[in-house]
Chain A
């Protein structure tokens, strides 16, 4: 079964540094998402992306965050200047359509640790 692939599985960075989290969505999917999960807490929406532009974003997704689909396969999340509170598990997700019968498929996540 096709999978959403995320790299790296774990990223450690110093506060103030830039990080790029990478995702390869399922190949025929059209909608892409980033979510994050702070340890032991709920899964929080960051941003959705369709047709090479942001469809929706949350309050968390401020100017420090950006997303890009640099080619036909990768979908990246960049955090320009990381803060301690950015430490979390970041999940990429994709779906074929936005309808109910097109479920959201999550990757296994990238654990970001900001020191």
Chain B
């Protein structure tokens, strides 16, 4: 059973455009929703994260929008740059020692100059 569903699988955006990646989850016990950025040959790195008590979180050009009732959250990259070209993973976890992270299937973003 896939705990976190992510779309699209790949995305091509012009430089300066907005990149939007969507995720949906089923388990209402999840209470932490991070986004990870992965460059080729590297491990995933935390980009931005949100808890379900807020509907939006912004850090620079990156914004998470969270819809608790729909069990959906999305990553918006404003003014997308070629350096943003990477694979993006959404994830979810629930509190507790160890707390396993469930990852989405990833979105390969290409920003065209």
- Which A residues are closer than 8 A to B by beta carbons? 4, 31, 35, 41-45, 48-50, 55-56, 58, 91, 93, 98, 100, 103-109
CB–CB B99/A42 < 8 A: no
Taken together as a complex, chains A and B put the C-alpha atoms of A42 and B45 apart, in Å, by: 14
CB–CB B43/A42 < 8 A: no
CB–CB B99/A98 < 8 A: yes
Which single residue of chain A is at the shortest CB-CB distance from B9? A40
Interface: B97 (CB within 8 A): yes
Interface of chain A: mostly helix, strand, loop or mixed:
strand
CB–CB A41/B105 < 8 A: yes
Provide the B16-52 mask, 1 if CB < 8 A to any CB of A, else 0: 0000000000000000101010000111111001010
* Chain B residues, CB < 8 A from A45: 100-103
Provide the B42-71 mask, 1 if CB < 8 A to any CB of A, else 0: 111110010100000000000000000000
Taken together as a complex, chains A and B put the C-alpha atoms of A49 and B105 apart, in Å, by: 24
* Chain A residues, CB < 8 A from B99: 48, 56, 98
CB–CB B43/A98 < 8 A: no
